[in-house]
Structure 1
Amino acid sequence: MDAPSIQLNLEIREAVVKALATRRPILHHLNADTSWLLQVPRPANAIKHGSRIYYNVLIDPWFVGGQSDVAKWFSQQFHATESAVKSVAEVEELAWQVEILAGGIRPGRGSLRNINATAVAEESFVDAVAISHEFTDHCHKETLLEVHRDVPVFATEQAAKLISSWNHFRSVTTTPTFKDNADWHDYSLSPLPSWLSISRLTASKDALFYHSALLITFATHPVLSIATPKKRSSLSIYGDGTEDFSSSTGSEAAECVIYTPHGIPNAALSPIATADPPLDTLAFLHGLHDVSISAAQQLNLGAKNGLLAQRILKAKYWVATHDEVKKGGGLISWWLRRKAWTLEDALKEAKAEMNGEDTYMDGDEFEDVRFQDMANGESRILE
């Protein structure tokens, strides 16, 4: 590498290190569809004795191979774009590299691939897996079986039953439904740390919970309320299996990431508005494409629904998800209908429709929205 290239690399590394020093969550798009890694910075009082800086949640991983629901003749799909990350081992590598750049791990151990087999078997940089649906493009068996068996899995009821039947993971927990006027602390189920919870939002008259959302909530602010320390049991395979955290007071607000690959009706978001202590929506992951099976069944609700939801949430970031037009076939493909909206077109039509009714929509209320159409393999620090 010549001198200018070395200098450029050093400058890029310095810029990345500086950005990571803000200790804000990081979102990584692992493929062109709807697999994500959310890195949540641990609170200052949870980092000691050389422990890692980030708590890593792997969401709906499906990297290579096909997926089929019911039967291949009915529906089978493959990624149209090669995944930027092709294995759970590469997710581990990504998380490990971020830790090095953030200062949580000293460099010098070489590539993760060069760590001896015993070390790999005992340690994972994935702290939890979150699964939004039982369908195989979200709950992909071949990919999930690559995850270390000691990593806890949080999944919807049907997905949890399916995953448990594989007899691979030691801990599979059904994600509880976040209710109106709820306290997010109550959803921090073991083995999650007390400052983070994983639950879900559900819509009425949605028997299959197709239009639901994962709700990942965390309080990682630099200054946390100080109370009596408590020790929570943990299945984490990083360290000795237990971590000390200071318990929070009931007034502790938190940030949340809402992940809804098929979209969620805006009426189902009332628990966010009524949460006590309050929740601040940092990121809202909702696709732009409107997908249906003929006129019979709405699959992905699309950008217009996302606008109505964002109007309530006022998320700092709206990130598109589950919009990959995959390869495949099967009987169901004959009836699939897709409209690929842009945010601008959706806003124009939604305003025209709503302004003709009793509700008025003003485009100015979306001025602060940071819409992110994150590409395959792209990462964002959520400031």
Structure 2
Amino acid sequence: MDAPSAQLNLEVRDAILKSLATRRPILHHLNADTSWLLQIPRPSSAVKHGGRIYYNVLIDPWLQGPQSDVARWFSQQWHAIESAVKNIAEVEEMARQIEILSGGGLRLGKGRRKSKIETAEVESWIDAVAISHEFTDHCHKDTLLEVHPNVPVFATEEAAKLISSFNHFRSVTTTPTFSSESSDWHDYSLLPLPSWLSISRLTASNDALYYHSALLITFATHPFLPTTPKKRSSLSIYGDEPSTAPEAAECVIYTPHGIPHTALTPIAQADPPLHTLAFLHGLHDVSISAAQQLNLGAKNAVLAQRTLRAKYWVATHDEIKRGGGLVSWFLRRKVWTVEDALKEARAEMNGVDDEDVDEFAGVRLEDVGNGDSRILE
């Protein structure tokens, strides 16, 4: 390698290591639609003695092939854009490489000694799968069957029934519904999850099919959140011992079809507090003629952001897929821009447009495209 190339590699290495050294969650967009890998940093005590740095949650994986609901003549779709990550083996390798890099494993030279992580035999780098809906663009059988059967799955009720019928996974758990009546996120940390992590869902009233619901992934791994007690009990090396005092937590809210902004009250009323780190909600307004609203679109998203104040708003489920079947003839799509959505939302909120008092000031969209990753700092 010549000197300029070596210098470039060194600079790239240092930039990557510096970013990963923040030990913050990482969000990877696996395709152009709504499949994600969320890497959550484990508590510091859980990575002692060579433990892994990240807990990896795979969300709604559909990577290749068609998906069909009811029957092919009724509805069938294909990805219009090839997925950046094409199968579960590639997801596993991505997680493994991030683990190596985070442990300082990126080095130049032939004499480098491999780390324990590089040589470890790991059953799966995926720690959990989270499924938001039973529809096969979220709950894709062929993709899910590539996941190791020992990986626990957390899915909404109908999706859990469908996945159990595959007779593949050893653990399929129905995600509980987070509500204001039980506002402590710890109550939703069901085994085999570690006690510092919970996976639940948010639902809206008058939504019998829970179409406009959300996955809520909550984790207490940031030591400096507001209202977090200064003195906390030490965790075991596995990170499974609970804290003796209530601890604030961060959350990622994932709602591929959108959840009505009025249904986010439980987040505002959570005790201990929940800080929304990332809000995954699409821009596109999709409906079946005038009869059924499918994806709520950017206007609802900016109204939700007014409540959540999420640090990151990331678009999801906006791929315009190749479609076939009866349903495709009736689909209607309006592609919103953030600017138009903000204008509509401001008008709905009595026309407030002074930036000093604007309730939507700071609302912005993060562009995380097919194959892109974002460290959520």
Given residue 233 of structure 2, which amino acid in structure 1 is its aligned partner?
Answer: A
SS in 2 for 1:58: strand
Given residue 124 of structure 1, which amino acid in structure 2 is its aligned partner?
Answer: S
1: CA distance between counterparts of 2:366 and 2:234? 40
1:336 aligns with 2:331: yes
1:353 aligns with 2:348: yes
SS in 2 for 1:19: helix
Aligned to 1:66: 66
1: CA distance between counterparts of 2:95 and 2:346? 41
Aligned to 1:211: 212
Q: For residues 132-171 of structure 1, what are the alpha-carbon distances to aligned partners after superposition, in whole Å with 9 as ceiling and x for unaligned?
A: 0000000000000010000000000000000001110000
Of 353, 361, 368, 1:374 maps to: 368
2: CA distance between counterparts of 1:123 and 1:63? 21
Alpha-carbon offset, residue 267 of structure 1: 1.5
Name which of structure 1's ranges 340-349 and 138-147 shifts more when overlaid on structure 2: 340-349
Name which of structure 1's ranges 249-258 and 318-327 shifts more when overlaid on structure 2: 249-258
Contact 1:225 1:252 (8 Å CA) reproduced: no
- Classify 1:365/1:70 alpha carbon distance in 2 versus 1 (closer, same or farther; 3 Å): same
Matches within 5 A, 1:214-229: 214-222=215-223, 225-227=231-233
Given residue 139 of structure 2, which amino acid in structure 1 is its aligned partner?
Answer: C
Given residue 131 of structure 1, which amino acid in structure 2 is its aligned partner?
Answer: I
Given residue 178 of structure 1, which amino acid in structure 2 is its aligned partner?
Answer: F
1: CA distance between counterparts of 2:319 and 2:5? 35
Q: For residues 107-132 of structure 1, what are the alpha-carbon distances to aligned partners after superposition, in whole Å with 9 as ceiling and x for unaligned?
A: 8669x9x989xx4xx51110000000
Aligned to 1:94: 94
Aligned to 2:192: 191
Aligned to 2:275: 280
2: CA distance between counterparts of 1:89 and 1:311? 39
Aligned to 1:289: 284
Alpha-carbon offset, residue 370 of structure 1: 4.4
Matches within 5 A, 1:20-99: 20-99=20-99
Give the gaps of 5 or more residues in structure 1.
231-241
Aligned to 1:234: none
Aligned to 1:4: 4
Given residue 227 of structure 1, which amino acid in structure 2 is its aligned partner?
Answer: S
Q: What value does the CA root-mean-square deviation take over the aligned residues?
A: 2.2
- Classify 1:105/1:130 alpha carbon distance in 2 versus 1 (closer, same or farther; 3 Å): farther
1: CA distance between counterparts of 2:165 and 2:5? 51
1: CA distance between counterparts of 2:265 and 2:313? 18
Contact 1:80 1:324 (8 Å CA) reproduced: yes
2: CA distance between counterparts of 1:134 and 1:225? 42
Contact 2:196 2:239 (8 Å CA) reproduced: no
Contact 1:316 1:368 (8 Å CA) reproduced: no
Given residue 49 of structure 1, which amino acid in structure 2 is its aligned partner?
Answer: H
Given residue 304 of structure 1, which amino acid in structure 2 is its aligned partner?
Answer: K
Aligned to 2:109: none
Matches within 5 A, 1:175-324: 175-181=175-181, 182-222=183-223, 225-227=231-233, 243-324=238-319
TM-score by length of 1: 0.90
- Classify 1:15/1:204 alpha carbon distance in 2 versus 1 (closer, same or farther; 3 Å): same
SS in 1 for 2:64: coil
SS in 2 for 1:47: helix
Q: For residues 243-288 of structure 1, what are the alpha-carbon distances to aligned partners after superposition, in whole Å with 9 as ceiling and x for unaligned?
A: 3533113431000000000000111111101100000000000000
1: CA distance between counterparts of 2:275 and 2:223? 16
Alpha-carbon offset, residue 229 of structure 1: 5.7
Aligned to 2:149: 149
- Classify 1:125/1:188 alpha carbon distance in 2 versus 1 (closer, same or farther; 3 Å): same
- Classify 1:174/1:87 alpha carbon distance in 2 versus 1 (closer, same or farther; 3 Å): same
Aligned to 2:129: 129
- Stretches of 4+ aligned residues off by more than 4 angstroms: 104-110, 360-363
Given residue 216 of structure 2, which amino acid in structure 1 is its aligned partner?
Answer: L
Name which of structure 1's ranges 151-160 and 242-251 shifts more when overlaid on structure 2: 242-251
Alpha-carbon offset, residue 366 of structure 1: 3.2
Alpha-carbon offset, residue 222 of structure 1: 3.7
- Classify 1:133/1:225 alpha carbon distance in 2 versus 1 (closer, same or farther; 3 Å): farther
1: CA distance between counterparts of 2:52 and 2:365? 30
2: CA distance between counterparts of 1:77 and 1:187? 34
Aligned residues: 363
Q: For residues 9-38 of structure 1, what are the alpha-carbon distances to aligned partners after superposition, in whole Å with 9 as ceiling and x for unaligned?
A: 221121010011111100000100000000
Contact 2:216 2:251 (8 Å CA) reproduced: yes
Give the gaps of 5 or more residues in structure 2.
107-111, 225-229
Given residue 212 of structure 1, which amino acid in structure 2 is its aligned partner?
Answer: S
Contact 1:75 1:333 (8 Å CA) reproduced: yes
Alpha-carbon offset, residue 228 of structure 1: 7.2
Contact 2:45 2:234 (8 Å CA) reproduced: no
1: CA distance between counterparts of 2:348 and 2:250? 32
Alpha-carbon offset, residue 79 of structure 1: 0.6
2: CA distance between counterparts of 1:101 and 1:277? 34
